[in-house]
Structure 1
Amino acid sequence: MKPAVISVFLLSFLLPIAGALKCYKCNERTSETCDVEEVDCPEGDQCLTRSEQYIMNGTYRSIRKGCARGAGECDERLPFTKGENELFLIINTKCCGEYLCNNESYEIPEVDVEPNGVVCPNCFAFNTTEECESEEEIECQGDRDKCISYAGELEKPDGELIRYSVKGCTNTAGCKVDVSAMVGVREVKEHIFECTDKSGKDEK
């Protein structure tokens, strides 16, 4: 066999399969760090790093790396405010399309607290999945220009099962978030998930 032919033959084993993408993968519910492994993603997918911070009777940080489940999951930045300057949930997702490119660390960016003129109903109730009654309002901040109402049964990162109902401010990504795809908090059952703009138009 000629040397040039041998080189081409060997190179075909060394190069990754066209269209395939290798990414780091891990899943950690209660930590900012995780032990990664390498995984081949389906053609057309991107590599993902998803950082979450959940605040309820403590602060929980979670991270997931792997293959993005769809374009809607990429570059998702979701802050949810349930009280004045009181953040309830933050999700920060980054995607990339290079070989093993999702090597970044856990990252929760600073959240803009500049009032934006939008006002939403504001309430929070434990041990119920009924819609909480809102007698107060909250001034929304930054890009959180949507009003959200959620009630459900969830499992916190520490394993505790809770039921609650909440109303507050979120952004467009928060109105479209797939709660079942969250890392730290696991949804057991959704009872209410409504999102509206300042005029009352449904945003979901």
Structure 2
Amino acid sequence: MKVLLGLISFTIAVIAGEALMCKQCLDKRADDCQGESVICDLPGGMCAKGIEHNILNGDVVPTAFRACTNDTRLCGGQVSLSTAPFQLLLYTECCQEDDCNCGEIIMPPKNTTKNGVVCRSCFTEGDYSCTDVSTIECTGNEAECIEFSGQAARPEEETMIYSYYGCVTKGVCQIGFGGLPGSVVYEQRVLECTPSIETN
């Protein structure tokens, strides 16, 4: 029995020693956060750190995070959503060494170079429909047009009904908004991404 218990203890120690350790924290309305080191036990897990900027009429609300993840789709790039008064930016870095997601969290400057595509643009608060529609020239990696209608909340703010059209990084509709660290979508009536209209 002592031999068996010793073998079990040794096996647990080996498993624990091989497990990836990641810093973990979440701080809404902050540009950085600090947290404790935790075991990342997700299959194919990685350490991640990043920041979200929810921008409405020039008011930037940041959310910083450090976590364990096994979703590589957001790693190493900036996700961008733009309408006339509203922008949502998310930047995530991923790594595979113990506590490698430490260090400063910095949102890279948004690429404002026009990329030659155009989408419908509209933004409405308090209504599920968006009628005052214009156009917006997409920039950077915003290669698709997005339509959204539903209930959502900016970080630590009240839930409101929103409807908007705009430009978005390709793949956002496949990923969805469930993984946002700060902004929260409570009801999603419409979420659709379509190819942009080429202008040249």
Q: Is the TM value for this pair above 0.5?
A: yes
* Corresponding position of 2:76: 75
Task: Give the letter for the 1:79 counterpart.
Answer: S
Secondary structure of 1:179's partner? coil
- Give the gaps of 5 or more residues in structure 2: 1-9
Give the match for residue 36 of structure 2.
Answer: 37
- 1:127 aligns to what? 126
Percent identical: 26
* Deviation of the 1:30 alpha carbon: 1.6
Superposed, 1:150-161 pairs within 5 Å as: 150-161=148-159
Q: Name 2:173's counterpart in structure 1.
A: 175
Corresponding residue SS for 1:172: coil
Deviations 1:110-166 (A, max 9, x none): 112121111111111110123x13531111112112101111111221332111101
CA distance in 1, matches of 2:71, 2:133: 39
After TM superposition, the structure 1 stretch with the greater mean CA deviation from structure 2, 74-83 or 172-181, is 172-181
Q: State the partner residue of 2:193.
A: 195
Report how far residue 187 of structure 1 moved.
1.2
* RMSD of aligned alpha carbons: 2.4
Q: Which residue of 2 aligns with 1:66?
A: 67
The structural deviation recorded for 1:176 is: 3.0
Q: 1:157 to 1:78 in 2, by over 3 A?
A: same
- Distance in 2 separating the partners of 1:153 and 1:24: 31
Q: What TM-score results when the alignment is normalised by the length of structure 2? A: 0.83
* Residues 94-133 of structure 1 mapped to structure 2, 5 A cutoff: 94-130=93-129, 132-133=130-131
Q: 1:76 and 1:173 mapped to 2: Cα distance? A: 12
Whether the 8 Å CA contact 1:121–1:134 is kept in 2: the answer is: no
CA distance in 1, matches of 2:179, 2:133: 32
The change in CA–CA distance for 1:13 and 1:171 in structure 2 (over 3 A counts) is closer
* AA at the equivalent of 1:50: G
Give the Å deviation of 1:12.
9.3
The whole-number CA distance in structure 1 between the counterparts of 2:159 and 2:141 is 31
Deviation at 1:76, TM superposition (A): 4.3
Match of 2:161 among 155, 163, 176: 163
Which amino acid in structure 1 is aligned with residue 98 of structure 2?
Answer: Y
Distance in 2, matches of 1:151 and 1:104, equals: 37
2:178 counterpart letter in structure 1: S
